[in-house]
Amino acid sequence: MPAPSDPSSRSESDALPPEMEAPTLRQVIAVLALANAGVATYLHLWKMGFMGALSCGAGRGCEVVQLSSWGWFLGFDVALIGAVGYALILLVAMLGTGARLAAERWPTVVLATLVYPAFVFTLRLKYAEFIVMKTFCPWCALSAVTMTLFTALVWLDWKRVRA
């Protein structure tokens, strides 16, 4: 018979409650935010002239988007806004993965405060890219898919911490 401290010896009634389990949703958010912060930083550095040629695949959609008036918002580079936003999301998601904060609601509330407006902003940018400029930027598409995924993950995390 396994020792009582062996996790495989636990019955379902001994399982940890959901609020004590590892916050996998926040971990996924953190990993994706890290990757996208890197991409956004790359795009910002390219726009500032610190990188060589822009790696974008076929066509010049990335350059068209980055150098358009839509690549700026209130005087700030959209890629820089993205890099800062993803860094903040990364920070909050990582803080929220700690055992002491796994069941806390505040990381989810802060993530929602960051993610939901960013999702709406992403819709504005995708409209500009597809409808106004009639082009395609793979890096922008990656960010849009990630932000859509974040919207769902934050909602699921809210359901988790609310339970």
Model pLDDT for residues 32-91, shown as the tens digit of each residue:
999 999 999 999 999 999 988 888 876 788 899 999 999 999 999 999 999 999 999 999
Residue 132 has pLDDT above 80, yes or no: yes
- pLDDT band at residue 7 using 50, 70 and 90 as cut-offs: very low
Query: Is residue 5, in this structure, part of any structural domain at all?
Result: no
* 109 has pLDDT over 80: yes
Which amino acid, residue 90?
A: L
User: Does residue 8 lie within any of the structural domains?
Assistant: no
What is the domain count for the chain? Answer: 1
User: Could you tell me if residue 7 is inside a domain?
Assistant: no
Q: 2 in a domain, yes or no?
A: no
CATH number of domain containing 102:
1.20.1440.130
pLDDT at position 104 over 70 = yes
Q: What is the pLDDT of residue 149?
A: 97
- The residue with greater pLDDT, 126 or 56, is 126
Whether 35 is covered by a domain: the verdict is yes
Q: How far apart are CA 126 and CA 12, in angstroms?
A: 46
Give the percent of the chain with pLDDT over 90: 70
What residue numbers bound the domain in which 146 lies? Answer: 23-162
| DSSP for 67-106, written as a single string | HSGGGEETTEEHHHHHHHHHHHHHHHHHHTTSTTTTT-SH
| Domain-located, residue 39 | yes
12 domain-assigned: no
Count CB neighbours of 22 within 10 A. 11
Q: In this structure, is residue 76 part of a structural domain? A: yes
Q: How many residues are given for the chain?
A: 163
Query: Per-residue DSSP letters for the chain?
Result: ---TT-GGG--GGGSPPGGGS--HHHHHHHHHHHHHHHHHHHHHHHHTT-SSS----SSSHHHHHHHSGGGEETTEEHHHHHHHHHHHHHHHHHHTTSTTTTT-SHHHHHHHHHHHHHHHHHHHHHHIIIIIS----HHHHHHHHHHHHHHHHHHHHHHHHH-
